[in-house]
Structure 1
């Protein structure tokens, strides 16, 4: 019984710290956030913070990793059904929509987080593993093309999040899928 209470307290403390860091990241760079203000925002003492994390960067890293793991678990349920690219992209857009605030903050160009790189790696592993380029692409060129596709898609997603998701996840999936498969359609 005592262990259950501790687990709930630990989870609550970690949740408060995560939420507080995300709130502070709205206005500040991670390097400008002090442990003192993070603890004040979370209403915990410094020793409690240090019982869970080394520093604010460790907390940020944990948040980013948890989101990537959550995203992977979310997408895995659809991969098993072998849904087509359009449906998979739509599910990914729905995931970003469900985590809109935290994703918008972590994917912000003005904030120095490694989250975008983690999302790029995840997207490459999730989407590009099944993509078979035409025979005209050698392995070197494939790496450039796949990087272009993933980077462009992430920037489209960032624009969408910053535009308060002015289109539905389905509409965004159609846009991204069309751009990936057909380009701009200009010769």
Structure 2
């Protein structure tokens, strides 16, 4: 019982620390956020912070890693059960449902590489699936096509997130899928 109570306190403290960093990153990039800023915002002392994280960059990396892993799991489940078109929708739906985190991490103050890594989750998952569907696929041509469509997808999602996600996830996913299909027609 005491262990369970302590575990809940640790989870709560970590949540407060993470939320404090995200709030601060709405105003400025991580390079302008200090551990002191996070501690003041979270109303904790520095020892509490350092008992969980080495510095603000490790904290941000932890937040990004958790988000990446959750989206990777969504992508794997979706590709195992559904089509590629469903994947765009599920990722957009997840981003919208987690807009408090994604809105910060995909903003100007966030890590520009994070969204790229997220979009590339489906690259490896799709390669084998698409190779099975086609008799022959030129790997270099495929990689160029994927890079082109991935960067277009990244731009669309960034614009959507940074403009407040007013459109529904299904509308954004439909646009991404339609644009990807238009490029695919000449690819195959």
Give the match for residue 141 of structure 1: 141
Aligned residues of 2:36 and 2:46 also touching (Cα < 8 A): yes
Aligned residues of 1:20 and 1:38 also touching (Cα < 8 A): yes
Matched residues in 1 for 2:127 and 2:19: separation? 32
5+ residue gaps, structure 1, are none
CA positional deviation for 1:128: 4.8
Residue 65 in 1 paired to residue 65 in 2? yes
Superposition pairs of residues 1-187 of structure 1, within 5 angstroms: 1-80=1-80, 82-112=81-111, 114-132=113-131, 138-183=138-183
Compared CA separation, residues 67 and 157, structure 1 to 2 (3 A): same
CA positional deviation for 1:136: 8.3
CA positional deviation for 1:134: 6.9
Q: Which moved more, 1:125-134 or 1:102-111?
A: 125-134
- Size of the aligned set, in residue pairs, is 185
Normalising by structure 1, we get a TM-score of 0.87
Task: Pick the structure with more helix per residue.
Answer: 2
5+ residue gaps, structure 2, are none
Compared CA separation, residues 86 and 114, structure 1 to 2 (3 A): closer
RMSD of the TM alignment (CA)?
2.4
Matched residues in 1 for 2:178 and 2:145: separation? 15
Normalising by structure 2, we get a TM-score of 0.87
Matched residues in 2 for 1:130 and 1:154: separation? 22
Deviations 1:25-62 (A, max 9, x none): 00111011011010010111100100000100000000
Compared CA separation, residues 112 and 65, structure 1 to 2 (3 A): closer
Deviations 1:79-98 (A, max 9, x none): 33x21222221111111110
2:49 aligned counterpart, secondary structure: helix
Matched residues in 2 for 1:98 and 1:49: separation? 28
